[in-house]
C-alpha cells in the first residue's frame, strides 16, 4: 500500500498520521517513508491494512490518497505511475543530455567495448560509436569475471578514462559498480550506475545506489536466474532508498542449451511495460554471446517495445580483452542504429500496437 502525503501537511499532521499507523499495523511491519516524483510517500507491504484502518487513514488531514496494490512491488508498479517514466542522463556531467523512456521517440543506443582497456582504446572506440549513431558510451572499469585469473578492469583509471571519453565526445557514460563502498566514487564519474546481473540481489548495493548523493540513474540488469517479480523487487529497493531513476535491462537468463550464452527473454519486454513504469533496455550481446545473432535480436527487441539497446561494440572485436565473441564491429553497430530507428518509426506511425 502506498500512502501519498499532501505536500502542505505540517509536522503535527504528519506525526498524527504516523501515530495512527503505528496503532493499526503490526508492530513488526516496517514503515518505509521516501520521496518520489516530488511527493512524500509511505510504503507498506501489499495488503497490510484492513478496510476499517484504511477508512481511518483516509480521514487523516496529512493523507492525499491511498493506493492499495496487490503486487509485492509498489513504487515501480505501473499502477503507481500510469504514464511511464522518462529519465534524462548526462545533464550534470557536461555530456549531451539523453532521454531514456516513454518520452523518447527513437530507441536509445548504448554502445562500446565490454571493458575499458586503455586510453587510446576507449577514446578511439568512443569516437567510433558516436559516429555510428550511439547516444551513450558503455565500458567496464570494474569487471565481475567468472574466473579470478581473468582481466578485472582498470578500476579507478578506467573511470578517469571514461570521463575523458565523455569530455571528448559529449557521450554520457555508463559503467558498472560492484560494491556499496564504491558507489560514491563511481557516481562521481559515471552518468549511469550499472548494477550487473550477478549483483541484482545484492541488497546493500541496491540501497547504496538508491542513496547515491549525485542522484545518478541506475541501470539494473536482470539476474540470470531472476524471476520478473524478483527483478522488480530489486528495482523497488533502489527507488525506496530515494532514487526513482531506474532503468531495467534484460540480458538473458540461464537455460539448458549451450548454443547461446543465455536465453534472451523478449517476452519480458511487453510484460514489463504492463507491470512497471520503468524504461526497459535490452542487451543482445550478453544474452546471445554470439555477435552474428546480435543484429537480429536487436531488431526483435525494438519490435517487442524495448526503449533501447546496450551493445558491446569495438573497433577490433577480435582483440577485445573481454567478451570479444559477442562484440560487434562498428559497421554492424551503424546498421543496427539505422534499422532499429526505422522499426521504431514504423511502429509509431502505424497502428501496430493498437491492433495487436
CB of 39 to ligand PEP, least distance (A): 33
Minimum separation from the CB atom of position 23 to ligand PEP (A): 45
Q: Which of 205, 237, 209 is nearest to 30 (CA)?
A: 237
Q: Which residues bind Mn ion (CB under 5 A)?
A: 114, 323
Cβ proximity to ligand PEP: between 254 and 345 the closer is 254
Kindly give, in sequence order, each residue whose CB lies less than 8 Å from that of residue 59, ignoring residues fewer than 6 positions away. Answer: none
According to DSSP, the β-strands at 86-89 and 63-67 are unpaired
104 scored as a contact of ligand PEP (CB under 6 A): no
Partner interacting with residue 251 (select from ligand PEP, Mn ion, none; CB below 5-8 Å by kind) = ligand PEP
When binding is defined by CB under 6 A, the residue of 221, 273, 277, 299 that contacts ligand PEP is 221
User: Quick one: 4 or 298, whose CB is closer to Mn ion?
Assistant: 298
For Mn ion, the closer CB: 114 or 321: 114
Interaction of residue 299 with ligand PEP, rule CB under 6 A:
no
What are the two backbone dihedrals, phi and then psi, of residue 299, each rounded to the nearest 5 degrees? -65, -40
Q: Which of 200, 228, 226 is nearest to 144 (CA)?
A: 200
CB atoms within 10 A of CB 301: 26
What are the Cα distances from residue 268, in Å, to 86, 296, 337? 19, 17, 22
At residue 140, the 3 state secondary structure works out as strand
Q: Which is nearer to Mn ion, 93 or 115 (CB)?
A: 115
Cα distance from N-terminal residue to C-terminal residue, the chain: 32
Are 243 and 215 in contact by the 8 Å Cβ rule? The answer is yes
Q: Whole-angstrom Cα distance, residue 57 to residue 149?
A: 57
Q: Is 277 in the site for ligand PEP (CB under 6 A)?
A: no
Residues 174 and 116: their CA atoms lie apart, in Å, by 11
Cβ atoms of residues 346 and 352 within 8 Å: yes
Least Å distance, CB 140 to ligand PEP, is: 5
Instruction: Find the part of the chain contacting ligand PEP (CB under 6 A) among 190-198, 231-239, 240-248, 342-350.
Output: 190-198
How far apart are CB 266 and ligand PEP at their closest, in Å? 16
Planar angle of CA 206, 209, 210, nearest 5 degrees: 85
Q: Which is nearer to Mn ion, 114 or 136 (CB)?
A: 114
CB 355, min distance to Mn ion, A: 38
When CB distances are held under 5 to 8 angstroms depending on the partner's kind, the choice from Mn ion, ligand PEP, none that residue 197 binds is ligand PEP
Q: How far is the CB of 198 from ligand PEP (least distance, A)?
A: 6
- Site membership for ligand PEP, residue 125 (CB under 6 A): no
- CA atoms of 12 and 7, how far apart (whole Å): 13
> Judged by CB under 6 A, does residue 197 bind ligand PEP?
yes
The reply to whether 114 sits near ligand PEP by the rule CB under 6 A is yes
Smallest separation, CB 259 to Mn ion (Å) = 19
List of residues contacting ligand PEP (CB under 6 A) = 114, 140, 144, 176, 196-198, 221, 251, 286
Amino acid at each position: 500500500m502506498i500512502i501519498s502525503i499532501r505536500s502542505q501537511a505540517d509536522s503535527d499532521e504528519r506525526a498524527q498520521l504516523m501515530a495512527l499507523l503505528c496503532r493499526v499495523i503490526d508492530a513488526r511491519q516496517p514503515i518505509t517513508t521516501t520521496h518520489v516524483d516530488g511527493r512524500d510517500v509511505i510504503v507498506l507491504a501489499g495488503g497490510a491494512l484492513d478496510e476499517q484502518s484504511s477508512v481511518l487513514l483516509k480521514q487523516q488531514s496529512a493523507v492525499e490518497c491511498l493506493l492499495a496494490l496487490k503486487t509485492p512491488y509498489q513504487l515501480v508498479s505501473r499502477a503507481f505511475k500510469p504514464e511511464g517514466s522518462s529519465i534524462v542522463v548526462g545533464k550534470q556531467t557536461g555530456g549531451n543530455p539523453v532521454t531514456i523512456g516513454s518520452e523518447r521517440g527513437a530507441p536509445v543506443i548504448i554502445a562500446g567495448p565490454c571493458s575499458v582497456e586503455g586510453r587510446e582504446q576507449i577514446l578511439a572506440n568512443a569516437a567510433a560509436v558516436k559516429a555510428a549513431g550511439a547516444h551513450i558510451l558503455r565500458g567496464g572499469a570494474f569487471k565481475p569475471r567468472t574466473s579470478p585469473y581473468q582481466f578485472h578492469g582498470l578500476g579507478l583509471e578506467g573511470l578517469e578514462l571514461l570521463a575523458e571519453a565523455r569530455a571528448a565526445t559529449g557521450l554520457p557514460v555508463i559503467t558498472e559498480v560492484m560494491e556499496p563502498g564504491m558507489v560514491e566514487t563511481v557516481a562521481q564519474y559515471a552518468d549511469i550506475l550499472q548494477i550487473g546481473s550477478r549483483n541484482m540481489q545484492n541488497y546493500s548495493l541496491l540501497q547504496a545506489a538508491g542513496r547515491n548523493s549525485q542522484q545518478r540513474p541506475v541501470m539494473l540488469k536482470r539476474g540470470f536466474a531472476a524471476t520478473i517479480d524478483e527483478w522488480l523487487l530489486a528495482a523497488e529497493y533502489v527507488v525506496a532508498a530515494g532514487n526513482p531513476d531506474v532503468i531495467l535491462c534484460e540480458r538473458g537468463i540461464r537455460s539448458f542449451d549451450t548454443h547461446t550464452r543465455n536465453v534472451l527473454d523478449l517476452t519480458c519486454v511487453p510484460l514489463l511495460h504492463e507491470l512497471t513504469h520503468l524504461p526497459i533496455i535490452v542487451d543482445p550481446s550478453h544474452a546471445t554471446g554470439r555477435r552474428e545473432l546480435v543484429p537480429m535480436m536487436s531488431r526483435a527487441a525494438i519490435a517487442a517495445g524495448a526503449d533501447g539497446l546496450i551493445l558491446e561494440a569495438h573497433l577490433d572485436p577480435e582483440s577485445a580483452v573481454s567478451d570479444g565473441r559477442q562484440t560487434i564491429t562498428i559497421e554492424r553497430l551503424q546498421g543496427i542504429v539505422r534499422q532499429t530507428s526505422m522499426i521504431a518509426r514504423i511502429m509509431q506511425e502505424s497502428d501496430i500496437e493498437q491492433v495487436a
